[in-house]
Amino acid sequence: MSSHKHHEHLERIKDAIRNSKELSEEEKSNTLKHIEEWIAEDKAFGTLYEELISLTSKIEPILAELGLI
């Protein structure tokens, strides 16, 4: 799932939680807090992934020179 679609999906879930008649305000708050944490973790993972890809492209010539790839 693309990041944009993933974000849209999470926003729809958050809206459904906010509009839920079955959840108490505390349950809504806790659930939304968890979703925000997941979003932050997802962004952090994406940033880490991009940094690793960038680093790999810089190290690849050195590894090739050493005959490791």
Q: Which domain holds residue 50?
A: 3-65
What's the Cα-to-Cα distance from 48 to each of 33, 43, 54, 68, rounded to whole Å?
Answer: 22, 9, 10, 24
Q: Give pLDDT, residue 15.
A: 93
Instruction: State the pLDDT confidence band at 10, using cuts at 50, 70 and 90.
Output: confident
As for how many domains the chain has, the answer is: 1
pLDDT in tens, 15-56: 999 999 999 999 999 999 998 898 888 888 888 888 878 888
- Say if residue 1's pLDDT is above 90: no
pTM score: 0.60
Closest CA to 11 of 36, 30, 29, 28: 36
Reference 18, options 41, 10, 7; nearest CA is 10
What is the structure's pLDDT at 47? Answer: 85
Q: Is the pLDDT of residue 4 over 70?
A: no
**Chain centre to alpha carbon of residue 14:** 15
